[in-house]
């Protein structure tokens, strides 16, 4: 197999001196998003899938600024000069991140303007500028503006009697300069309404390409901000509109809740969600055509400096391009994926009887999420079920799981839901569902003081002939039917007594007073998980020293905890073979002689978001394998409630080790290999077989 570097911006100028042992987590995150961008560049992907990846890339950077950059800026404002573990001060991290971001943003624009938009136009999907419109199209757009847009707009002036208007987070705006015959030049801000589509569809009979020729399968859109800009005279009658230019603001969106001072956590979270739009400004994005005097006016009134100004060519906020995925053009998308059911569940029999016969492993999205919903629904309707308990982290806006829990309560079952209100960017959905469940009599628990509840657990307590039996579902992903269609996650149904007893104890820890310090089978953070996982790494080190067959395979979303990294370095130096599959941030520096030459790190980027967490230890031929909710981050290990559960059925262990992990480690289609300097190289197959770890038949048991 040969290797070929990803098409990417040279970032040599962004390289800064770092400590030899660690990669900077912020720069590592940028490299992750670069790999996402690589999928937008990849012409092997269907056109609308490339657009999707570009939209994801843009959305990821919004979150990067809202959370990561805002955190660095807070440290700088507080005068923090302490170096991060990789040797950078906050100021140096911000400088390095900006140097890496600027050329990447320029390449983003190059791709959009010179590749994707022309390619869409060739396929009859036209994103038109106002200057491209025909007379008939202009007439229709003007009428649409008068009827649909104009009544919603509220221009806000800025002068000696009126303060600078508040600019909400991620809102798209027009900075407008007006000439008043009496007062001279004035400034106003016009917010682009979020309640209207960013891309306004033209009627099919008016859909023509830029050259005026109609195309058979055609879809035409015009940017709403350009429509507003073309009709600003309607908003400022009697004045001359000198110029207008779009701009977009990104604010700090990382809520901090002082739980020990909050009498009502629910009210505190609700207030925090409302306040998120008012956070400190961390970025302003403007079009390159914006005059400097206007951008300076914005910087001054938004109280930020030139380093926080990002100028780009073309439309702002291109995460909105995700709306194009709604177009009915299957020829421009990946073939639709039809999830299946495990063979043991295909007969439609009693799910509790099936679980009693043996553990059932689900691998989403290759397996349908419906058995998880059916599990709760069956419990709701089963007269022998006494109680249902479940953790909820990100459930989505139209959750069949929550509806099933409500139905269970209506059927007289005792239902407990541990709802994590602090699930970032899902707080509002969780608040709505929590209140809805409370109104129906569900016992809702709002997590624990100082800890996010990230564990994925559901338990059904059932009265049977031989006594009470507990049935459990545990997962690596959220109880979210929508994300289960695009996230790779593993879930296990079991009624093993040791697991069930641990889950009972864990729910007691979550809902009542408990100082549970030991568990039979589960690894639970922040209590036992860190120490037990590290002990198993040490066992592989000892095994390597005594027998020479130590082996570790981990799959996770992020690896940034330095205690674990140091221990993995120790294992590598002892000769243990270590393969790490890390989708996102990775602070471990692999392949460094004398430090980590026995460690290889790969990242899988594809149509499905790799989300499952797997921890495998060879253990001298008696493999130990855990699945669960925890990544190797200090927040997950020390400040969240997480669970890892053992997989013990030999057939299931063999499937995960040989077929699932084996396919990931042999992937030469979607795999990127981390280099010692923090960059990634994409594997390219030679003339041999292509191995794609996101092919369904490879990722489910035979």
Using CA atoms, how far residue 429 sits from 110, 454, 636, in Å, is 37, 16, 22
Task: Quote the longest CA-to-CA distance of the chain.
Answer: 90
Work out the average pLDDT over 80-98: 88
Residue-wise burial string across 384-423, b where 16 or more C-beta atoms lie within 10 A, e elsewhere: ebebbbbbbbbbbeebbbbbbbbbbbeeebebbbbbbbbb
Share of the chain above pLDDT 90, in %: 72
Domain assignment present for 392: yes
Domain containing residue 239: CATH number: 3.30.1840.10
Residues 6+ apart with CB under 8 A from 504: 459, 470
Per-residue pLDDT tens digits for 210-235: 554 444 568 999 999 999 999 999 99
- H or E element in which residue 312 lies: strand 309-312
Question: Is the pLDDT at 270 greater than 50, yes or no?
Answer: no
Token pair in block for residue 190: 């016009």
- H or E element in which residue 136 lies: helix 135-144
The secondary structure of 331-373 as a DSSP string is GGSPPPP--B--GGGTT---HHHHHHHS-EEEEETTB-SHHHH
Identify whether residues 462 and 572 lie together within a single domain.
Answer: no
Per-residue pLDDT tens digits for 485-527: 999 999 999 999 999 999 999 999 998 877 778 999 999 999 9
Work out the average pLDDT over 331-352: 92
Instruction: Give the chain's domain count.
Output: 4
Q: Enter the pTM of the model.
A: 0.90
Domain assignment present for 490: yes
Token pair in block for residue 147: 């009827």
Task: Give the burial class of 114: count Cβ atoms within 10 A of its Cβ; 0-12 exposed, 13-18 middle, 19 or more buried.
Answer: exposed
Domain assignment present for 330: no
Q: In this structure, are residues 526 and 640 in contact, taking their beta carbons and an 8 Å threshold?
A: yes
Per-residue pLDDT tens digits for 123-153: 999 999 999 899 999 999 999 999 999 999 9
Identify whether residues 361 and 506 lie together within a single domain.
Answer: yes
Domain containing residue 503: CATH number: 3.30.870.10
Cα separation, 51 vs 41, in Å, equals 9
Question: Is the pLDDT at 377 greater than 50, yes or no?
Answer: yes
Per-residue pLDDT tens digits for 562-577: 999 999 999 999 999 9
Q: Which of 149-153, 237-241, 278-282 has the lowest mean pLDDT?
A: 278-282
Question: Is the pLDDT at 6 greater than 60, yes or no?
Answer: no
> What is the pLDDT of the chain when averaged over all its residues?
89
Domain assignment present for 316: no
Identify whether residues 226 and 374 lie together within a single domain.
Answer: no
Identify whether residues 498 and 571 lie together within a single domain.
Answer: no
Higher pLDDT, 175 or 269: 175
Cis peptide before 526 (omega within 30 of 0): yes
Q: Over the Cα atoms of the chain, what is R_g? A: 27
Cα separation, 661 vs 693, in Å, equals 9
Identify whether residues 539 and 513 lie together within a single domain.
Answer: no
pLDDT value at position 210? 54
Find the domain containing 639 and state its range. Answer: 524-698
Q: In this structure, are residues 127 and 113 in contact, taking their beta carbons and an 8 Å threshold?
A: no
Of 478, 502, 521, the residue that ends a domain is 521
Cα separation, 146 vs 149, in Å, equals 6
Cα separation, 301 vs 175, in Å, equals 13
Cis peptide before 365 (omega within 30 of 0): yes
Cα separation, 497 vs 672, in Å, equals 41
Identify whether residues 15 and 76 lie together within a single domain.
Answer: yes
For tokens 């030679």, name the residue.
686
Identify whether residues 511 and 573 lie together within a single domain.
Answer: no
Share of the chain above pLDDT 70, in %: 90
pLDDT value at position 276? 39
Domain assignment present for 127: no
Q: 251: how many CB neighbours lie within 10 A of its CB?
A: 21
Question: Is the pLDDT at 52 greater than 90, yes or no?
Answer: yes
Identify whether residues 206 and 103 lie together within a single domain.
Answer: no
Identify whether residues 633 and 574 lie together within a single domain.
Answer: yes
CA 89 to chain centre: 27
Sign of CA dihedral 644, 649, 653, 659: negative
DSSP 56: H
Q: Which residues are catalytic?
A: 454
pLDDT value at position 259? 38
Work out the average pLDDT over 296-309: 92
Residues 6+ apart with CB under 8 A from 324: 48, 51, 120, 125, 199
Question: Is the pLDDT at 81 greater than 90, yes or no?
Answer: no
Token pair in block for residue 90: 């906050």
- The strand pairing partners of 432, in sequence order, are none
Q: 335: how many CB neighbours lie within 10 A of its CB?
A: 7
Per-residue pLDDT tens digits for 387-427: 999 999 887 778 899 999 999 999 999 999 998 765 444 55
Domain assignment present for 310: no
Q: In this structure, are residues 254 and 173 in contact, taking their beta carbons and an 8 Å threshold?
A: no
Residue 187 pLDDT class (50, 70, 90 cuts):
very high
Of 255, 281, 304, the residue that ends a domain is 304
Domain assignment present for 314: no
Per-residue pLDDT tens digits for 250-260: 988 764 433 33
Domain assignment present for 131: no
Q: 182: how many CB neighbours lie within 10 A of its CB?
A: 6
Q: Which of 162-176, 414-428, 489-503, 539-553 has the lowest mean pLDDT?
A: 414-428
Q: In this structure, are residues 314 and 106 in contact, taking their beta carbons and an 8 Å threshold?
A: no
Question: Is the pLDDT at 5 greater than 80, yes or no?
Answer: no
Question: Is the pLDDT at 278 greater than 90, yes or no?
Answer: no
Token pair in block for residue 87: 């040797």
Identify whether residues 558 and 657 lie together within a single domain.
Answer: yes
pLDDT value at position 266? 41
For tokens 């879809």, name the residue.
219
Question: Is the pLDDT at 536 greater than 90, yes or no?
Answer: yes
Task: Report which listed range, 202-211, 408-417, 436-445, is most confident.
Answer: 408-417
Work out the average pLDDT over 439-456: 86
Residue 429 pLDDT class (50, 70, 90 cuts):
low
Domain containing residue 99: CATH number: 1.20.58.310
pLDDT value at position 209? 55
For tokens 């120790």, name the residue.
570
- The residue ranges of DSSP E strands in 112-171, in sequence order, are 125-128, 156-158
Identify whether residues 107 and 248 lie together within a single domain.
Answer: no
Long-range contacts of 570-575 (CB under 8 A, 24+ apart): 570/541, 571/537, 571/540, 571/541, 571/544, 571/598, 572/596, 572/597, 572/598, 572/599, 573/598, 574/541, 574/544, 574/545, 574/550, 575/544, 575/545, 575/548, 575/550
Of 487, 521, 555, the residue that ends a domain is 521
Identify whether residues 76 and 113 lie together within a single domain.
Answer: yes
The secondary structure of 215-242 as a DSSP string is -SS-EEEEEHHHHHHHTGGGTSTTSEEE
């Amino acid at each position: 197999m040969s290797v070929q570097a990803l098409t990417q911006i040279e970032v040599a100028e962004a390289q800064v001196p770092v400590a030899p042992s660690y990669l900077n987590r912020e720069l590592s995150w940028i490299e992750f998003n670069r790999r996402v961008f690589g999928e937008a560049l990849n012409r092997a992907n269907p056109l609308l899938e490339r657009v999707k990846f570009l939209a994801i890339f843009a959305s990821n950077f919004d979150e990067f600024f809202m959370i990561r950059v805002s955190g660095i800026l807070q440290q700088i404002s507080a005068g923090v000069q302490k170096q991060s573990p990789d040797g950078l001060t906050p100021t140096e991290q911000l400088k390095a991140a900006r140097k890496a971001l600027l050329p990447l943003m320029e390449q983003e624009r190059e791709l959009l303007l010179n590749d994707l938009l022309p390619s869409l136009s060739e396929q009859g999907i036209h994103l038109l500028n106002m200057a491209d419109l025909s007379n008939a199209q202009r007439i229709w757009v003007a009428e649409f503006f008068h009827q649909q847009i104009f009544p919603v707009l509220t221009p806000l002036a800025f002068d000696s009697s009126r303060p600078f208007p508040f600019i909400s987070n991620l809102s798209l705006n027009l900075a407008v300069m007006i000439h008043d015959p009496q007062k001279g030049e004035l400034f106003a801000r016009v917010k682009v309404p979020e309640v209207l589509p960013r891309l306004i569809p033209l009627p099919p009979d008016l859909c023509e390409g830029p050259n005026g020729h109609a195309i058979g399968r055609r879809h035409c859109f015009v940017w709403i901000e350009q429509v507003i800009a073309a009709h600003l005279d309607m908003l400022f009658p009697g004045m001359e509109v000198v110029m207008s230019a779009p701009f977009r603001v990104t604010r700090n969106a990382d809520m901090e809740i002082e739980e020990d001072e909050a009498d009502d956590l629910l009210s505190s979270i609700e207030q925090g969600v409302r306040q998120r739009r008012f956070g400190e400004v961390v970025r302003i994005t403007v079009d390159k055509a914006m005059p400097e005097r206007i951008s300076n006016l914005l910087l001054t009134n938004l109280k930020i400096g030139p380093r926080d100004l990002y100028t780009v060519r073309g439309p702002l906020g291109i995460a909105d391009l995700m709306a194009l995925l709604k177009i009915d053009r299957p020829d421009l998308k990946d073939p639709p994926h039809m999830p299946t059911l495990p063979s043991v569940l295909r007969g439609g029999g009693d799910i509790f009887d099936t679980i009693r016969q043996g553990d059932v492993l689900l691998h989403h999205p290759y397996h349908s999420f419906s058995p998880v919903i059916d599990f709760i629904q069956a419990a709701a309707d089963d007269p022998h079920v006494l109680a249902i308990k479940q953790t909820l982290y990100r459930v989505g806006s139209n959750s069949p799981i929550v509806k099933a829990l409500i139905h269970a309560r209506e059927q007289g079952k005792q239902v407990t839901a541990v709802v994590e209100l602090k699930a970032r960017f899902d707080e509002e959905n969780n608040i709505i569902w929590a209140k809805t469940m409370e109104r129906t009599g569900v016992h809702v628990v709002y997590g624990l003081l100082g800890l996010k509840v990230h564990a994925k657990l559901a338990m059904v307590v059932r009265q049977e002939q031989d006594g009470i039996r507990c049935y459990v579902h545990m997962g690596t992903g959220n109880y979210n039917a929508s994300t289960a269609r695009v996230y790779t996650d593993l879930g296990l149904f079991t009624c093993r007594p040791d697991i069930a007893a641990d889950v009972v104890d864990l729910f007691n820890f979550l809902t009542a007073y408990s100082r549970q310090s030991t568990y039979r089978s589960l690894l639970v953070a922040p209590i036992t998980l860190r120490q037990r996982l590290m002990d198993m790494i040490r066992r592989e080190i000892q095994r390597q020293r005594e027998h020479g067959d130590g082996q570790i395979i981990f799959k996770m979303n992020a690896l940034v905890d330095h205690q674990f990294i140091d221990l993995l370095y120790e294992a590598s130096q002892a000769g243990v073979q270590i393969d790490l599959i890390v989708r996102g941030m990775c602070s471990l520096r692999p392949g460094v002689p004398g430090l980590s030459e026995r460690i290889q790190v790969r990242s899988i980027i594809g149509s499905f978001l790799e989300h499952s967490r797997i921890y495998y230890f060879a253990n001298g031929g008696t493999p130990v394998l855990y699945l669960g909710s925890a990544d190797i981050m200090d927040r997950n290990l020390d400040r969240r409630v997480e669970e890892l559960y053992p997989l013990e059925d030999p057939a299931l262990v063999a499937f995960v080790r040989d077929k699932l992990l084996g396919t990931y480690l042999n992937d030469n289609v979607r795999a990127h290999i981390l280099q010692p300097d923090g960059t990634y190289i994409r594997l390219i197959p030679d003339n041999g077989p292509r191995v794609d770890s996101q092919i369904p038949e490879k990722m489910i048991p035979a």
